[in-house]
Amino acid sequence: MSQVPIQFKLNGQDKAEFIDEAATLLSVLRGKVGITSPKAGCEQGTCGTCSVLIDGELRLSCITLAQTCAGASIETVEGMDTDGKLHPLQQAFLDRFAAQCGFCTTGMLMAAKALLDKNPNPTREEVVDAISGNICRCTGYEPIIEAILDATGGSAGSYRRA
């Protein structure tokens, strides 16, 4: 398979790599640049555990051709904390025990961040809708929904994009 050059931003840092022309973004992140938060679950676009943000939009990295990300800004959970301080969503997931095995958690965090970055005060229904593409086999979803609502700061609307 021929190699092609690609440049993109990853969690705010410039990256330049040579990749297989048919490589998925998931394989490039995990195999080339050492980003392991997006998980290889179904690898066919149905479980959400490989979710990342591309230019602020929630995307499934397992079915995204890496080449199409040239020039894009990619966010993963590795970039969520600020100066060692957890992102409000990460803290809320901890406080609400919203992770058990943790396999879905990074995808859930990405789906939640995509929502809150655009809509800092979502309704419960909007939260449920936002994570509807992410499968969790452990938690029953309630702690995850509660955590995301907690991260909004309730009606005070204290969520700040980070």
Residues that bind ligand FES (CB under 6 A): 40-43, 45-50, 60, 62, 99-105, 136-139
Q: How far apart are CA 123 and CA 12, in angstroms?
A: 30
Q: At what angle do helices 142-151 and 105-118 cross, to 10 degrees?
A: 40
Structure-block tokens of residue 57? 């939009």
- Closer CB to ligand FES, residue 60 or residue 114? 60
Structure-block tokens of residue 34? 């050492």
Query: What is the closest distance, in whole angstroms, from the C-beta atom of residue 96 to ligand FES in the complex?
Result: 12
Which of 128, 119, 17 is closest to 74 using CA atoms?
17
Query: What is the closest distance, in whole angstroms, from the C-beta atom of residue 78 to ligand FES in the complex?
Result: 17
Query: What is the closest distance, in whole angstroms, from the C-beta atom of residue 137 to ligand FES in the complex?
Result: 4
- Closer CB to ligand FES, residue 33 or residue 104? 104
Query: What is the closest distance, in whole angstroms, from the C-beta atom of residue 157 to ligand FES in the complex?
Result: 28
Strands 57-60 and 51-54, by their bridges, are antiparallel
Query: What is the closest distance, in whole angstroms, from the C-beta atom of residue 109 to ligand FES in the complex?
Result: 11
- Closer CB to ligand FES, residue 138 or residue 162? 138
Which residues sit opposite 24 in a β-bridge? 65
Q: How far apart are CA 110 and CA 52, in angstroms?
A: 6
Q: Output the CA torsion 118→121→127→129 (10° steps).
A: -60
- Closer CB to ligand FES, residue 49 or residue 152? 49
- Closer CB to ligand FES, residue 86 or residue 138? 138
